[in-house]
C-alpha cells in the first residue's frame, strides 16, 4: 500500500503544492474544498456513519472521520488566511 501512497503524492500531491504556493486563486479554491470536506467528515463522525473505501473491502471508522474532519478544518483555516487575507509585501525597486 505504501508504494501507492508515494506514487499518488508524487503525481498529484507535488503539483498541487506547487500550484497552491504559486497561485492565490488556487489557495482560495482549496479553502472551499477543505471546508466542504471538513463538514462532510464531521457529519460522518456525528452521525456515526462508517464510510466504505472505494475498490476495497476496508471501512473508515467514524472516529477516524472525526480526526480527518478536524485536520481538514485546520487546513481550511490555513488556506483561508493565505488565500483571502494575506497580502505579500511588494518589493521596492529602489536600493540604497
Q: Where are the domains of the chain?
A: 34-85
Residue range 28-39: mean pLDDT, rounded: 96
| pTM greater than the 0.85 cutoff | no
Q: Is pLDDT at 93 greater than 80 in this prediction? A: no
Say what the pLDDT of residue 55 is.
Answer: 87
Say what the pLDDT of residue 48 is.
Answer: 97
The CA-to-CA distance between both ends of the chain, in Å, stands at 56
| Contact status, residue 17 vs residue 8, Cβ threshold 8 Å | no
Give the Cα separation of 3 and 63 in Å (integer).
26
Give the Cα separation of 24 and 27 in Å (integer).
5
Give the Cα separation of 48 and 44 in Å (integer).
6
Q: Is pLDDT at 46 greater than 70 in this prediction? A: yes
| Contact status, residue 65 vs residue 45, Cβ threshold 8 Å | yes
Amino acid at each position: 500500500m505504501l508504494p501507492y501512497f508515494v506514487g499518488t503524492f508524487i503525481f498529484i500531491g507535488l503539483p498541487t503544492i506547487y500550484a497552491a504556493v504559486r497561485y492565490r486563486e488556487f489557495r482560495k479554491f482549496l479553502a472551499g474544498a477543505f471546508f466542504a470536506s471538513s463538514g462532510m467528515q464531521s457529519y460522518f463522525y456525528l452521525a456515526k456513519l462508517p464510510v466504505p473505501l472505494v475498490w476495497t473491502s476496508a471501512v473508515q471508522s467514524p472516529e477516524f472521520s472525526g480526526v480527518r474532519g478536524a485536520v481538514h478544518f485546520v487546513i481550511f483555516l490555513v488556506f483561508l488566511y493565505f488565500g483571502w487575507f494575506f497580502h505579500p509585501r511588494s518589493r521596492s525597486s529602489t536600493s540604497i
